[in-house]
Copies of this chain bind each other. A is one copy, B any other.
């Protein structure tokens, strides 16, 4: 079904562009979905992208603009006049319009909004821009179908015909009282199966879920996912209906959230993708690597302190990468389970009971791994003592690493800090240092050095 962007298509397009065959280009894009056109514009040169955007009509290009990669959109918007941007904006849903205007400089925002023909739209966009980032207000659209509880089904149908033209998808019809306060909802289905002389107040469903305009967008996503909602109305503190959030916006929030957690776990400090410049990628990668470097220097200083042990028990030193790796792996595993549990709201019980469970778990894992390591050292080195020292310290290191991995995200979460930063390099680095220190201390104790 989806049209794959073939190289033949691109060749044809380039040929038409070279020959300025505007009509042919328009025709080429006629049957192509705007999401596919956005992908094509990612592929062609920047000048060609501008050329195509200016050629196609704004009904189509407005959709394309919302789909484009942010970097490319920014460059394209720089090349359009305030009036041209206003024409595009005029075709968009209010939430997309506000998002795109929000990317412009304050001064350009002003000019684009002034260039809008539709005063109501301008007011809606200004309102949406006024809400804080990552709140329900910043996510919602003003488009919705609203009816008054006093209307009849027939009257309702008549008026909905007017409102519905502006609303891409009618999920729910929201019922308000004369002060515009939300009192219930209806589906189109309910209207269709009702009798035409019934009053809305008699057929509305009054158990309508709504979120406050200042609610956190991730919270809204959780609520919609939990209750399987496809749209949710947004109200102010007085329950006045302000807008609605649809599930496609939530899909984006969930995806962004998952991407962010994944990147934090992988040691990337900001949202990057593989096509970003080397400089952007360096900015995202270097800070965590630097942390790793500091940790490595810490491990160096600790090991230097145990230098005297080398002559008799050199193999202790050769096992430090193993100890560090195990401490890091266990820490990441336990922190990832907690971070994911917190994200899915299913971490219950006290911190202490969590730590107790993790201790048993780490002890069990540690014991199995240590047994294997003991056999290896015993057979390979021929020394029961060294084997015992290394294996016992491995168990201790794994337990401590598991406890740190469990405690840190729970602690951060209690303090209102995103626990996801506790995964990845942060845990690995601190566990490396603690692991190596514990390892040498215990091994020294057992070997009686």
Contacts and interface: CB of A to CB of B under 8 A. Distances in A.
A307 B296 contact: no
B321 A210 contact: no
B282 A361 contact: yes
Given A310-B310, A321-B436, A211 B1 contact: yes
A348 B230 CA distance: 34
A340 B432 contact: no
A273 interface: yes
B192 A346 contact: no
A424 interface: yes
Interface stretch (A81-89, A125-133, A286-294): A286-294
A392 interface: no
A397 to B, nearest CB: 12
B299 A322 contact: yes
Given A262-B261, A423-B266, A325 B295 contact: yes
A321 B336 contact: no
A170 interface: yes
Interface in A330-383: 330, 332-333, 335-338, 340-341, 344, 346-348, 354, 357, 360-361, 364-365, 368-369, 372-373, 376
Interface stretch (A109-117, A197-205, A311-319): A311-319
Contacts of A340: 259, 262-263, 273-274
Interface string A252-283: 00110011011101111000111100100110
Given A228-B248, A321-B296, A423-B266, A192 B209 contact: no
A262 B259 contact: no
Contacts of A28: none
Interface in A225-256: 225-228, 230, 247-248, 250-251, 254-255
Interface stretch (A9-17, A53-61, A157-165): A157-165
A29 to B, nearest CB: 14
A157 B272 CA distance: 49
Interface string A4-42: 000000000000000000000000000101010000001
A274 B361 contact: no
A443 B159 CA distance: 80
A446 interface: no
What band does the interface of chain A fall in when counting residues whose beta carbon is under 8 Å from B? 35 or more
B251 A210 contact: no
Given A164-B189, A347-B274, A330 B289 contact: yes
Contacts of A348: 43, 275
B341 A273 contact: yes
A107 interface: no
Nearest to A433: B321
Contacts of A300: 315, 318-319, 321-322
17 contacts: A1-B211, A35-B228, A43-B348, A250-B251, A254-B254, A272-B337, A274-B340, A285-B365, A296-B319, A296-B323, A296-B325, A297-B322, A299-B318, A299-B322, A320-B320, A325-B428, A328-B328
Smallest CB-CB A-B distances: 3 pairs: A296-B322, A266-B336, A258-B258
Given A296-B323, A303-B317, 8 more contacts: A35-B227, A42-B346, A263-B340, A265-B265, A278-B364, A281-B361, A282-B364, A282-B365
Interface of A: 1-2, 31, 33, 35, 42-43, 157, 160-161, 164-165, 167, 169-170, 187-189, 192-193, 207, 209-211, 223, 225-228, 230, 247-248, 250-251, 254-255, 258-259, 261-263, 265-268, 272-275, 278, 281-282, 285-286, 288-290, 292-293, 295-297, 299-300, 303-304, 307, 310, 314-315, 317-326, 328-330, 332-333, 335-338, 340-341, 344, 346-348, 354, 357, 360-361, 364-365, 368-369, 372-373, 376, 423-425, 428-429, 432, 436
